[in-house]
Amino acid sequence: MTQLEECLRGAALRPYWFETVAAQPVCPPPVSDIRADLAIVGGGFTGLWSAIHARRRAPEARIVLLEAGQAGQAASGRNGGFCAPSISHGVGNALARWPAEADTLIRLGRDNLDGYARDVEELGLDIGFQRQGKLNIAQTPWQEAALHAMAGNYRQFGIACNLLTGPALRARFDSPIHSVGLFEPNYALVNPAQTVAELRRVALSLGVEIHEQTPVTALHAGAAEVTLITPEAVVHADRVILATNAAVPLLPGLRAAIIPIFDYTIMTRPLSAEELAAIGWTADHSVADMGNQFHYLRKTADNRILWGGYDAVYHFGARRDPVLLDRVESYNRLARNFARALPQLADVRFTHAWGGIIDTSARTTFFAGQACNGRLAYALGFTGQGVSASRFAALAMLDLLDGLDTERTRLQMLRRKPFPFPPEPLRWVGIRWAQAGLAAEDRTGRRSVLNRALDRLGIGFSS
């Protein structure tokens, strides 16, 4: 393992977000068996949104949430907090993969962000929610062409956006390597750790029973109930929601539908107003570049810059070992790319560096479904776009369990499972080939034969 770059020396190898919330007492494991109307497995965004909206639908129901660790310590507390107006991983992905229902997907994605904002207000969630927009930036001719195509797609569906060049671009983000930007005002940010903490607080206040440090080790479907086995107790549930996302799915039939991809992030010290002015970033919008190996960046409440992405690492055998959450090579690469994009801040030190796991599907959108004779609903495969989509997925799973015919339940995007990943070693080899082709496309603008073939099959790879 290589040494850390000088600008990273002394960086805490843990998510910065964890330092923005006060430590909470652990909700202890159950001490005896439980009978529940609804049991939810997973205490991240998806599970907590499911609990809150289930309580709204069923005020008297006994709702029990089981979390293997502590709520928010896994993927939900380790991401960038990008809250998109999309459930389909963007407009272009909806058009490419679901053309017949693209209009519906795009509308529902925008409606979902509006609903998210309403929930923030109605539930009194102190999560740093801010709807200040996002700037997409390009640095090569082929990325510029993709940005113009994105603008065309947006305009087709009446989505506000502005193409920016020259002084107009530098007024929002002044980087010597980026020549064109597309600003979309309808995009939000949250603090991920605060979001989990606040959703957990609200769920508890609504009478949801939360048990942390309570892994579910087995699941059994019976004629009248679903049984969840934990180390301390058995939960007998009329209905179950699986919200485990990047963890190994409890249903064996779902295990080939997702792979764990490791993504890495570094965070600067707080920056002064003068330093931010030097890079033209005085507003609170987020930024992302147009590469296949792309960076995403945002500011925090105390004016740090989060700089993440680029590497998307799959480990042979779908390993999820905690030790893989730190990767010095990726931290160093992020630091070098930061200095190249923003040489005005090349000497700025980074105070935090960490990794997280993305539950990646072969079509880059989440999917949902039912099992156990309709008593169980699941949603997974968010592919790095789950901050806002997790709320939509929670509502969709509740619709399915309630037997409702809604726009959500009718979506082919939800109901059709993605193409399964092949077994090892074909999986590892295929991913490596696809990633090599994506990296080459970033350099040359030419898509590889393999990736063109995958495109035709509706299969993709992205973080």
**pLDDT, tens digit (0-9, with 9 covering 90-100), for 341-367:** 999 999 999 999 999 999 999 989 999
Return the residue matching tokens 């792309």. 294
Q: What is the pLDDT of residue 250?
A: 97
* CA nearest to 79, candidates 46, 109, 53, 51: 46
70 within 8 A of 78, measured Cβ to Cβ: no
Across 103-119, average pLDDT: 98
DSSP structure string for 382-437: -TT-HHHHHHHHHHHHHHHHHT---HHHH-HHHHSPPPPPPPTTHHHHHHHHHHHH
Counting Cβ atoms within 10 Å, is residue 20 exposed (0-12), middle (13-18) or buried (19+)?
Answer: middle
436 within 8 A of 312, measured Cβ to Cβ: no
pLDDT at 461 over 90: no
DSSP structure string for 243-305: --TTSPPSSGGGTTTEEEEEEEEEEEPPPPHHHHHHTT--S--EEEE-SSS-EEEEE-TTS-E
Q: What is the pLDDT of residue 457?
A: 79
| pLDDT, tens digit, 9 for 90 and up, residues 158-174 | 999 999 999 999 999 99
Across 123-129, average pLDDT: 98
pLDDT at 28 over 90: yes
Q: How far is CA 462 from CA 87, 211, 354, 359, 415, in A?
A: 15, 34, 19, 11, 21
Q: What is the pLDDT of residue 463?
A: 45
| pLDDT, tens digit, 9 for 90 and up, residues 413-452 | 998 889 999 999 999 999 999 999 999 999 999 999 999 9
| pLDDT, tens digit, 9 for 90 and up, residues 421-431 | 999 999 999 99
Return the domain boundaries, the chain: 426-456
| Distance from the first to the final alpha carbon of the chain | 24
Across 184-193, average pLDDT: 98
| pLDDT, tens digit, 9 for 90 and up, residues 48-93 | 999 999 999 999 999 999 999 999 899 999 999 999 999 999 999 9
pLDDT at 375 over 90: yes
Residue 419 main-chain phi, psi, to 5 deg: -60, 130
d(CA 445, CA 454): 17
Q: Categorize the per-residue pLDDT at 339 as very low, low, confident or very high, splitting at 50, 70 and 90.
A: very high
pTM: 0.96
